[in-house]
Amino acid sequence: PFIFDVDGNKYIDYVMSWGPLILGHAPKKVIKAVVEQAKKGTSYGAPTPLEVEIAKFICENVPGVEKIRMVNSGTEATMSAIRLARGYTGRKKIIKFEGCYHGHVDSLLVKAGSGLATFGKPSSPGVPEELAALTITLPFNDINAFKKAVLEHKGEIACVILEPVMANAGLILPEKEFLKELRNITTEEGIILIFDEVITGFRLSLGGAQEYFGVIPDLSTFGKVIGGGLPVGAFGGKREIMDYLSPEGPVYQAGTLSGNPLAMAAGLMTLKLLKYGKVQKLQDGSTIVDFFEEGEEVYDYLRKMGKAFAEAIDLARKETGMDKFTRTYNLESLNCLFFVNKEIKSFKDASKANTKAYALFFREMLKQGVYLAPSQFEVAFVSTAHTKKEIEKTYEAAVKALKTVKEVFYS
């Protein structure tokens, strides 16, 4: 779980390439699979057995996916899913939730304006307002705002897209009935429900957030973990919707390097290790994941280490008195420390965090060899390569870092 800078300094890594490296850096089995494929060829411009095999694996293990298409990134996946939803329904408008990030797609680079259901304004230069106006932004976890938007734009909404667990605005969990209510309403109104599982897919569980929460969307997007550290994305869902995609249907999608064999090799080996592999400790205290008969189940280990990370940060907060000014959130192997002492249910809540305090915390942790995300609005990713030894060092660093933050901002 370590990275090194150009000066040779060593850091415990909790960014993990922003999520893909669920097995840590350069796992031997994954690297071997990539090397073996590279010897055969790096790209063919045609489907390969590896692409078919990983597609079958995803369809067999993710409840809402009957058919899937490989692309090159999570951004391409969400872009294509939106186009497919619009083509399938014949409608133009889409709904997203404030603070949910779905890649740098023009129509999704939109944040909420005032009111419950406002037409969006671009969050980046280069995005035409006319395009952004087709995107309706709503507060996460606010089912009443969603009901109102659906009523106001009845028969015009093609789809609603969301991260089932927000992990690009810190870590914000869905309230108990929020996802189920979304599913019920979208079904009644003929609106396609899209789960952006680029982060949650194969991280919360083998079946992603949809299996974890028991809510099945119409379409899902994937990335990160399914590429094993190489560039990849995918979108899939109900067969009748996916059949509307070219060449069988009229909605166009293509890509020169889509289903790239190197990414398919890395991704397939990663997914197989997640399902069939076990975690064992080596004599030096590090861990390895392989197809052992004995050992700890991968998701059990990830859950345990994720919880250990959360407990370490909580202990540091209490020891320094910073529990009065901060909140922690944990879900499986995802974690976040918010520098605001209130319950976080939406991006509006998260945006009240003291970002300057977090920035100082980040720098102080980095000085002590712990690499966290440099932004308050990201999460810490735990992998199978992290052990209690790294968690203990993280705790010690957090105590010192939080003391410094307290002196500067809260004394």
Domains of the chain (ranges, CATH numbers): 2-25+278-409 (3.90.1150.10), 41-271 (3.40.640.10)
Catalytic residue positions, numbered: 101, 196, 224
d(CA 149, CA 292): 51
> Model pTM?
0.94
Q: Answer yes or no: is pLDDT of 123 > 90.
A: no
In whole numbers, what is the pLDDT of the chain averaged over residues?
A: 94
Q: Backbone phi, then psi, for 337, in 5-degree steps? A: -110, 115
Which residues have CB under 8 Å from 400's CB, separation 6+? 364, 368
Give residue-wise pLDDT tens across range 266-280.
999 999 999 999 999
Give residue-wise pLDDT tens across range 218-240.
999 999 999 999 999 999 999 99
**Nearest residue to 21 (alpha-carbon basis) of 331, 294, 274:** 274
Q: Answer yes or no: is pLDDT of 290 > 50.
A: yes
* DSSP 8-state assignment for residue 107: G
Mean pLDDT of 239-262: 95
* DSSP 8-state assignment for residue 271: H
Residue 56 is inside which H or E element, if any?
A: helix 49-61
Whole-number percent of the chain with pLDDT over 70: 95
Q: Answer yes or no: is pLDDT of 122 > 70.
A: no
Q: Answer yes or no: is pLDDT of 114 > 50.
A: no
Give residue-wise pLDDT tens across range 295-336.
999 999 999 999 999 999 999 999 999 999 999 999 999 999
CB-side neighbour CA atoms (13 Å) of 315 = 13
